[in-house]
Structure 1
Amino acid sequence: MMAKKELLQWVEANCSSETAKECIKNFIEDSPFGALLKMTKEDWKDEFQRWGTFIYNELHPAIPMEIDQPNRPRGEQVDLSNPRALLNFMNMQMIDVSKLFASCRLLSEEKRKIAFSGREAAINQAAEKFKVFADPFGKDKETRKLPVASGLSGLGKTRLMEEWERIFDKADVLRPRFGVLVPYYNGHNPHPVEKSMGIEASFSWRLLYRVFIEGNGKEFSDWFQDYLPRNGRALTLRTALEVIRMKAVSLGLVREIDLFHMFIGVDEYQSIEDVNGIKVNREPLLQDLINAIGGNVESESTSPINNIRIYPMFAGTDFSVISIVSSSKTETIRLPMLLLNSFEMARSVESIPCGIDLLKQTPVRRHLFYLGGVPRWFTEYILLLVKDVSGRYDKVPTVEEAEKAFQSVKIQYIAAWGKINIDGKYKALEPIDFIKLAAFSFSGLKVVLNSKVIENLSWARLRDSSVCLINDSDSRISIPYAIIHEIASYKPAEFSSRVIKRFIECLKGLVEKVDLLMYDKSPWQLWEVFGAYFHALRINAFLIIGRTTVKARELFEGALING
């Protein structure tokens, strides 16, 4: 274990940000070394975000697993240096050897039938990166950044990866082309066997499993436990990709001379640290994986791999763990993922056969507005309505059916929203915490990622816990309108603060005088009422935050003023 002097030397040598370096060194010098050792990984992360993770790993280096540890794979020995031998092994694991990519998607077909709207900016940015991956030679590290979809749960990150063919079209990626999503959740959680190998090897086995065996062989957990080769830690991503291409050639999906284009989506990347595998150095496992994947995208010595091009994308909730800028090998870029507006949601609904009929019911449009632009929430709501009307000629849902579907989604998602993992235990935010979040959202103020506001947690931690969105371009926060709507149901008398009472009363007025009349009146008839309530809310929001004096331009920012 290193001493304080060695830790300071490590920070000096490895921290690329001069501002962060000075801040971290001052913190270390001013703190007893024993106190530094007692800090958890979350403590370090709250203080210094991504650098905190690095420092914790330096203070607490992982102990390599012994070769005879109980979690080693139990399968047969396979010559992993020979792609043909590995292909023969994978063929024996398949029920039907003629099926490849049999079950490589994650979302159901009914969900994928609802048009994916409001993500044009993310698709365009990903396509620009894919153009680089198609011809990576001579490109600098900045240009070769791997795209990341990050944000609160339900934002449509997995769906964005499911749209890989649309991104390929934008990027002019030619055929033959294939895609696979590799998840770390829902039956694919980190497996004990993975502790015995590096993340490149375990990810490569996950990739092979998804392409060869998923839906065409043993269940994931059983296969990893009983069939993964006992020398599985020796597998490289390069070999796995070669085997996939060889199989595609054998099935006639690709000609020997063809360039093989494959999208690889890594879903719920924040769970990769839970794999607890063997690290390459002292960087987090996720960084090891990014380096391994990036190396097969960008290195002239390894790309193309026998006529292979890969197009990776990562999706998850915790942006801090992947926003690593210290690597000399591979970096990432965050794709824009914001809440959808009412028009974007309506466009998605109209894409299904009965969508226009669903929108004829005023409560349905109002419920979509309440659901606040979170794709998963409104998709589940619409699918419930489709189920109700599917067996009859009249596809317009009743008011009762609309309300029942809305309450179902509200119970499943909205009521459970706002839980934060603190020291391994999930804690629900208190009403006052929701009010503070709403106040910052209404204020339009920029936030500092490492400043602390709720439960002694930083804004970065709240963002990574799916509590709020923080816009990368202006550092302003937003939360789903459904949460604002919930706050409006609070009883002002239960709060002692006069400002908070007025804030809740203003929200109630906004709901009663504007929300409940939407779609029954023309928008212009509600403008003045909305403006009055909104600016009253903004005034109270500033007071809740602690700003007793504000400039007029702050109060009226974004307003259209005539006269």
Structure 2
Amino acid sequence: MVSINCLCLGKTSFDDTFVVNIANDSDICGSLININNLRISDLKFLIWNKKKATLGINDSDIMDLWKVNIAYNDENKLKHVTTEDDIKKELGGKKLVPILLVKKLFLEQSLVDENIHVIVQLPTAAEPYWNDDSSVYEWIKQFKPNRGRNLLVKTYGKDFKFLQRDDTIKALWKGTVIAGIEARFKYRNVSDKGLHPIPILVGGPGVGKSRFLDEVERLLGQYANESDDEEIRKAFTNMTVINTTYGNGSPAGTMDVNFGAEASLAIRILYEYFRPNHNYGSLEFSHFQSHCYNYSNISSFTLSTALRIIYADVIIQKKQEINSNPLLVLVLGIDEFNKLHDTEKGICKELINAIGGVMCRPPPNIYFIPILAGTIEEHLYDYISGSMHEILPLPLRLLNDDDAIRIGMKMNLFDDKYVRLHPYFRISICDIGGHVRTLEYYYEYFAQKFAAEHKKLKTEKMSKEEKIETAVHNVNIKKIMEFVKQKIIDKYSLELNSHWLTIPLAKAILGFPVKKMDTIMLNKISMSYQELSSMGVVNLVPTEERGEYLIRLPYVWVCAIVESSDDHGMMYLKFMMLRYDEPWQNFEDFNAKFWALRLRLFHLIGYKQIKLKTLFKGADFSLSFPDVEVDLPKIIDIKLYRSLHRYPVTKTYKNNQVKYENMTEVRNGYIDLDLLKEGNIKRYIGCLFFNAPGEVNQELYDKTYEKVAEAMNKAEVKEWVLLFLTNANKENNLSIDNKPNSALVSMKNFQKFYGYTYASRAQFASANEKIYFNSAPVESLTILGFNEEERNNIRLKRKGHPGKA
């Protein structure tokens, strides 16, 4: 007996090989043929007989066999083999003539047992006329279509409640200063490029581009239903959405270049709409593409032809009367356009021109709406501008914190009670900063940890509700955030990219605007903010000033960047300022640390002298505020000190004797003056106090101002300013206009002063937070400074005495 290892043409892995064993006598159509007399035609029968359930042919003679000798180490060669020419050039294959004896080809020559010996080439169907939609339509039917739309998002986030995209769909429908699809509707048959702007979704990985395309059919349907235009309402009842991609599942490659721009997209449209199958299951895109590549005239397949095929099938599937010429609204999403750009830039320009051409001159009875999505903002703008079409940018803002929490609640990960009782959880959500992909990492790991904790309680004598509540309270938020931080570092290659991010990080925290084409120079190499945005490592938020953007970096991202950086300027931040797991700080401590950080960051971006209004950027100023230039303190002098005395002493200091262990001069970033030799004020150190409730009003501010003015006068200091920071949120309660030398930061300008990164932390630090000590998750006590041993003792105490701690 001899064993011949076979592989069908188009398969690219040794996992797809199969073995045909040839016995001394083989049954060929009812006749026993001795191995010495077996011919290639008989070998075809043996192969067909073994695989007839999956080959999809009824006649073994119509397939061709090629003799090859492919070692396992040469498996990569198979990825580029899709045609006869490839078999010859890449594999050195020899086509086997049916009448030749198997003995001479395989028995008299030694075969390597673990190599592939035969490539099986199945016949292709008759080539359609690619510029004839009826011919291609009949051809595609042979693949047993399984119509229906595949989602682009297949990860955990696919189940997120879809929130905060109102401005995105509004821009698509209504337009901006550029016409949206509502305005385009009445000009759909007018071939003027100025009337047909191309909508684009651009942003770094993970901001929600693909998810928007998955939801666009539902969103457009809602807007159409609310339209005052009856013709629009009627037209959009006959809408078809097809989402294609040049990324996962159907990646851009050399075949796209060989096909040409239009055929590359047209093939994807057929594949995504019809979802073709073969006899043994769904047909992968790579196999469908390879099949199309075997046809000599595939390059003549155009976008317009593909759209006409879809139109014909929609009419038939909906049992509409084609003679009535019903209008079809055809929405085409093209995701991961950047991957095509990476493969071949020239083909991108051709494709944009083809898309624009079809928008201006669509096939009869089709309203064509393309939406391009990708990360290459600069290049997309260049391609579209070069086509003389206008660009309709669709904004994709980050989620707000309330929506991020709502998503978790809708997924039944926790309830409102958990959110109220667990401030550490709320802080962690704020630190995610609304970045969709990061939130996906967070909730996916949260769900895994909840399931693990719930499993531990399987044998406990508790009700179902008690088990759920206990399990979710036992989820360790700190570990989740450490996981998320590491995931960000790995996914976005921060260890490689962090050296570009020192200046952007400083400007993000300080709230300095940038322009997209501003560059960071490093070792004579430049990187623009637009490029950093395309990489997904920064988010650019437009300001009111045209062309300027604020850099939005969530707090956990800042921690990840600092941890990954070996920049000397980051060292102090790494060890003293940006430790994710540091305890919650009261408003005074928070601002002391933030002020030290702010001063260091000004140094980092090159300031030695600075105007006061720039130093206090984001604050409100009195009418006579002196905008003079001042010297920044030297880096070595920027340290944190505790006051020797505090007046008045708050109630939490009374009867609070502090015990010290392992005393050092630096505690939590501060130099404790009482630990210095000349200090003797231990009774005031390490005391925990909270932000006292009560409204900050004009009277309180006036008294504070008068105290400062009096103190400065006694100290004979003539040049001074007062920076007043408060969580008061009623603008009309405070006025500093007539108070010379005054600057005010109130709740309304937290984001301007503290920046996107720190605003939420400032809000937590200033809040009159209530901690429900006996019912809050034990982990929440971390933010009050309880160590792990203390938290475990509290947990055990609760377990023995529910409701007490």
Shorter-chain TM band: 0.7 to 0.9
- In 2, the alpha carbon distance for the partners of 1:332 and 1:198 equals 24
Counterpart in the other structure of 1:92: 142
Report how far residue 505 of structure 1 moved: 6.0
Report how far residue 82 of structure 1 moved: 2.0
Q: Which amino acid aligns with 1:115?
A: K
Q: Sort the Cα spacing of 1:77 and 1:537 in 2 relative to 1 into closer, same or farther, 3 A.
A: same
Counterpart in the other structure of 2:430: 369
Please say if 1:542 is aligned against 2:607.
no
Counterpart in the other structure of 2:534: 464
Counterpart in the other structure of 1:175: 237
- In 1, the alpha carbon distance for the partners of 2:124 and 2:496 equals 41
Contact 1:238–1:296 (Cα < 8 Å) also in 2: yes
Unaligned runs of at least 5 residues, structure 1: 1-66, 277-282, 420-426, 518-525
Counterpart in the other structure of 1:559: 619
Q: Sort the Cα spacing of 1:362 and 1:471 in 2 relative to 1 into closer, same or farther, 3 A.
A: closer
- In 2, the alpha carbon distance for the partners of 1:381 and 1:231 equals 49
1:13-35: CA deviation from partner (whole Å, max 9, x where unpaired): xxxxxxxxxxxxxxxxxxxxxxx
Contact 1:485–1:511 (Cα < 8 Å) also in 2: no
Contact 1:270–1:317 (Cα < 8 Å) also in 2: yes
Counterpart in the other structure of 2:335: 267
Report how far residue 154 of structure 1 moved: 0.7
Unaligned runs of at least 5 residues, structure 2: 1-82, 90-122, 175-179, 225-231, 455-463, 621-723, 725-733, 737-805
Counterpart in the other structure of 1:478: 552
Report how far residue 214 of structure 1 moved: 5.6
Report how far residue 90 of structure 1 moved: 0.8
Aligned with 2:215 (options 163, 166, 184): 163
Contact 2:203–2:534 (Cα < 8 Å) also in 1: yes
Q: Sort the Cα spacing of 1:222 and 1:496 in 2 relative to 1 into closer, same or farther, 3 A.
A: closer
- SS of equivalent to 1:233: helix
Instruction: Please list, as runs of the form range in 1=range in 2, the aligned pairs for 1:49-88 lying within 5 A after superposition.
Output: 76-88=126-138
Counterpart in the other structure of 1:131: 182
- In 2, the alpha carbon distance for the partners of 1:108 and 1:81 equals 34
Report how far residue 105 of structure 1 moved: 1.7
Q: Which amino acid aligns with 2:358?
A: N
- In 2, the alpha carbon distance for the partners of 1:528 and 1:510 equals 19
- SS of equivalent to 1:365: helix
Instruction: Please list, as runs of the form range in 1=range in 2, the aligned pairs for 1:184-195 lying within 5 A after superposition.
Output: 184-195=246-257
Q: Which amino acid aligns with 1:465?
A: M
Q: Sort the Cα spacing of 1:549 and 1:347 in 2 relative to 1 into closer, same or farther, 3 A.
A: farther
Instruction: Please list, as runs of the form range in 1=range in 2, the aligned pairs for 1:134-149 lying within 5 A after superposition.
Output: 134-137=185-188, 141=193, 144-149=196-201
Aligned with 1:121 (options 128, 153, 167): 167
1:336-365: CA deviation from partner (whole Å, max 9, x where unpaired): 223333223123223334442664544433
User: Normalised by the size of structure 1, how large is the TM-score?
Assistant: 0.72
- In 2, the alpha carbon distance for the partners of 1:75 and 1:552 equals 77
- SS of equivalent to 1:321: helix
- In 2, the alpha carbon distance for the partners of 1:142 and 1:537 equals 50
Instruction: Please list, as runs of the form range in 1=range in 2, the aligned pairs for 1:408-423 lying within 5 A after superposition.
Output: 408-418=483-493
Instruction: Please list, as runs of the form range in 1=range in 2, the aligned pairs for 1:77-476 lying within 5 A after superposition.
Output: 77-94=127-144, 97=145, 99-100=146-147, 102-108=148-154, 111-128=157-174, 129-137=180-188, 141=193, 144-169=196-221, 171-172=223-224, 174-213=236-275, 217-228=282-293, 229-252=295-318, 255-256=321-322, 257=324, 258-276=326-344, 284-297=346-359, 299=360, 302-303=361-362, 305-324=363-382, 326-356=385-415, 359=419, 361-389=422-450, 393=465, 394-396=467-469, 397-418=472-493, 428-430=496-498, 433-455=500-522, 456-459=525-528, 460-473=530-543, 474-476=548-550
- SS of equivalent to 2:536: coil
- In 1, the alpha carbon distance for the partners of 2:535 and 2:606 equals 25
Q: Which amino acid aligns with 1:106?
A: L
Contact 1:187–1:220 (Cα < 8 Å) also in 2: yes
Contact 2:184–2:195 (Cα < 8 Å) also in 1: no
Query: Who wins on radius of gyration, i.e. which is larger?
Result: 2
Contact 1:380–1:409 (Cα < 8 Å) also in 2: yes
- SS of equivalent to 1:107: coil
- In 1, the alpha carbon distance for the partners of 2:342 and 2:276 equals 22
Q: Sort the Cα spacing of 1:510 and 1:386 in 2 relative to 1 into closer, same or farther, 3 A.
A: closer
- SS of equivalent to 1:438: helix
Q: Which moved more, 1:249-258 or 1:79-88?
A: 249-258
Q: Sort the Cα spacing of 1:442 and 1:384 in 2 relative to 1 into closer, same or farther, 3 A.
A: closer
- In 2, the alpha carbon distance for the partners of 1:195 and 1:68 equals 19
Q: Sort the Cα spacing of 1:214 and 1:335 in 2 relative to 1 into closer, same or farther, 3 A.
A: farther
Q: Sort the Cα spacing of 1:495 and 1:150 in 2 relative to 1 into closer, same or farther, 3 A.
A: closer
Q: Which amino acid aligns with 1:440?
A: K
Contact 1:133–1:311 (Cα < 8 Å) also in 2: no
Q: Which amino acid aligns with 1:264?
A: L
1:141-188: CA deviation from partner (whole Å, max 9, x where unpaired): 455322222112111111111120243135416212121211111221
- SS of equivalent to 2:373: strand
Using CA pairs below 8 Å that are at least 6 residues apart, which structure has the higher relative contact order?
Answer: 1
Contact 2:352–2:387 (Cα < 8 Å) also in 1: no
- In 2, the alpha carbon distance for the partners of 1:254 and 1:386 equals 46
Q: Which protein has the bigger strand share?
A: 2
1:485-528: CA deviation from partner (whole Å, max 9, x where unpaired): 2356589xx8755xx55545663389735xx46xxxxxxxx555
Q: Sort the Cα spacing of 1:352 and 1:445 in 2 relative to 1 into closer, same or farther, 3 A.
A: same
Counterpart in the other structure of 1:19: none
Contact 2:199–2:372 (Cα < 8 Å) also in 1: yes
Percent identity for Structure 1 against Structure 2: 21
Residue-pair matches, total: 461
Q: Which amino acid aligns with 1:261?
A: V
- SS of equivalent to 2:199: strand
Contact 2:246–2:340 (Cα < 8 Å) also in 1: yes
Report how far residue 376 of structure 1 moved: 1.5
CA RMSD of aligned residues (A): 3.4
- In 2, the alpha carbon distance for the partners of 1:68 and 1:293 equals 33
Q: Sort the Cα spacing of 1:510 and 1:217 in 2 relative to 1 into closer, same or farther, 3 A.
A: closer
Q: Sort the Cα spacing of 1:464 and 1:350 in 2 relative to 1 into closer, same or farther, 3 A.
A: same
Contact 1:434–1:487 (Cα < 8 Å) also in 2: yes
Q: Which amino acid aligns with 1:159?
A: R
Q: Sort the Cα spacing of 1:399 and 1:141 in 2 relative to 1 into closer, same or farther, 3 A.
A: farther
